[in-house]
Amino acid sequence: MIDVQDREIIEALQSGLPLVPAPYAAVAKTLGMDEDALLNRLAELKSRGVIRRIAAAPNHYKLGMTANGMTVWDVDDSQIAELGTQIGALPFVTHCYERPRVLPDWPYNLFAMVHGSDRDEVEEKCAEITAILGDACRAKDILYSTRILKKTGLRLKTKG
Amino acid sequence: MTVDVTDRAILNRMQDDLPLTAHPFASVAQELGINEDELLSRLARMKEQRIITRFGPFFDAAAMGGAFCLCAMAVPSDEFETVLTKVNAHAEVAHNYERTHRLNMWFVLATETPEGIEAAADAIERETGIEVLRFPKLQEFFIGFRVAA
């Protein structure tokens, strides 16, 4: 859970950290806080997992990673924990989750995001996943992203 | 728009955690063998050019008592832009991608309470008349943040 001050800090930072030599001092000033107090709060939010990391989100498309495949798999439930761990450990898989099936439309329960410079590269990587899953996989699909429609990250409502 | 070797080194480093110190860019610049001014100006340029979509803390809504949920909709092509405007108008929609499938709009809802997910998804269904399929994560196997630039 987060308190009022955490919330103010999160609101101040959700659009990003200023690109200046002393970014935390700049943010602390807007919040009427002391820089050290802000750094301590941020360290605490990190230790609690509220902040996962402070980092850049790159635009894969602009980096030439133009093929982004959400690969989806229908994997035997009794083997998903073990196989999901193996798929998640592959160097080219950036996110890997078990999610519920929505039958009959959606039989897939394992989602693995695969990026590549083109669709052929994504498909080559997919073949590696297919080999690992073997008979435990009954069906699969690849959903390529064709457009980023929004990318803002978490936004708290400004009030209430 | 070009991304040179130094930009790539910066992108690779900046996808990892920035130190929580008074002058974090100075220490990263030192690691990379460039000066702080150059690091900051390159970061500002890459943000301006949208090579970096965002720079700052990544929050975990679940750790704040909230929730994330991947959602999908099958939007008819002639309604796509209208539906998109309605969906994106919700502050809870953190990101949204068009994908090659009958389910062609995939977005993540991030809300401050678990109930917020259902409320936002239901509101989108009401406003658009299109079913919002919900795929909350049951298990996370790994998050490898990095893409080699």
A59 pLDDT band, cuts 50/70/90, is confident
pLDDT in tens, B39-49: 999 999 999 99
Distances (CA, A) of B141 to A96, A127, B126: 5, 19, 34
Percent above pLDDT 70 for chain A: 94
pLDDT at position A61 is 78
Q: How many contacts, defined by CB atoms under 8 Å, are there between A and B?
A: 239
Chain B interface mutation, best of A2, A14, A19, A98, highest count of B Cβ atoms under 10 Å? A19
- Tell me the one-letter amino acid at B50: R
- Tell me the one-letter amino acid at B80: F
Q: Which residues are CB-neighbours of B111 under 8 A, at least 6 positions away?
A: B61, B66, B67, B92, B117, B119, B120
Distance from the Cα of A127 to chain B's closest Cα (Å) equals 19
pLDDT in tens, A6-53: 999 999 998 899 999 999 999 999 999 999 999 999 999 999 989 989
B73 contacts B82 by C-beta, under 8 angstroms: no
Mean per-residue pLDDT, A114-122: 93
